[in-house]
Amino acid sequence: MPEGHSVHRIAKQFDRNFVGHRLEVSSPQGRFADGAKLLNGSELTEVWAVGKQMFMGFAGDNWLRVHLGIYGAWDFSGDIHADATIASANGRMGQTNQRGTVFDDAVFDLDGENSLTSIGAPRKTRVRMAEAEKESALDISFPPEPIGQVRVRLLTETVCADLRGPTACEVLGKAQVDAVLERLGPDPQRDPSDLSGQRFVDAIREKNTAIGLLLMDQSVVAGIGNVYRAEILFRAGIDPYRPGKQITEDEAWALWRDWVYLLEIGVQTGQMMTIDGLEGEQWRKAMANRADRHWVYKREGLPCLNCGTNIRLDEMANRKLYWCPSCQT
């Protein structure tokens, strides 16, 4: 399932390429036909994400809410702006098994003038922003024939976006959007303020639930998934089984600030980069290979990069949990 940085990046692609345009909205699959009729011909006025959900505002107070879930995918085609990470990875962002971003000759470092955020130009191409997506040949015809069961197609004169396999795809009014937001925890990309941080800290420290479960609870904090959960807890040195009530206020604030920090890196680079201080070739390798950018995730049975103890793999609420029993107490 995509983690928070992926959905924010998808929202940015919509903001860059679709906002301000009247959209032709259809449902090639037919399952969203009624919703498509409500949105067809309306101007897209704003797009933003909270955690793993994206909200698209249309003129007339209609909103399209999309949750990709495990199998959802967006296909973009036409004259799109695609940055380096999207173009080189066929737009697959945020999945836990992604192949990474591979560069040709340039060395990308933390100070570089050739940083990922500075690269991007309109191009006639097709890119995929999805979860659990297989590689496939991409054509350049426009508009392209729908691939698979396309729930909804959003089309301008120059750009097309197809949505397949989402967990949620529905038209809401503003009051309904507000009701959804009320059920979600804070997202630092939407509001990095201390008020949001205090809300997170209070939610953590009032519960006797294991911190490893609380970080995955979208009503506590929006956007954290399995990768970020494992890495944030390792970076904090916190045992994932420790109850929230036993997390000190300083520890809870440190978790929040680290999430603010790591999420911004993910949004900017397209990768869940959780090892600090990498530059030059190390950064390049980490951007291309998951094994070079994570402390514990998917490293079960291997020596901890910090202490040498074998990384442990457990199951917590039917999700895999990676952690170091020596470094995390």
Catalytically annotated residues: 2-3, 52, 319
Q: CA 201, CA 205: separation in Å to the nearest integer?
A: 6
Using CA atoms, how far residue 95 sits from 48, 111, 144, 208, 222, in Å, is 19, 27, 25, 30, 16
DSSP 245: G
CA-wise closest residue to 327 among 98, 315, 310: 310
Angle of CA points 243, 246, 251, to nearest 5°: 110
Q: CA 59, CA 223: separation in Å to the nearest integer?
A: 27
* Amino acid letter, 314: D
Burial of residue 227 (CB within 10 Å: 0-12, 13-18, 19+) is buried
Burial of residue 147 (CB within 10 Å: 0-12, 13-18, 19+) is middle
User: How many Cβ atoms are within 10 Å of 96's Cβ, its own excluded?
Assistant: 17
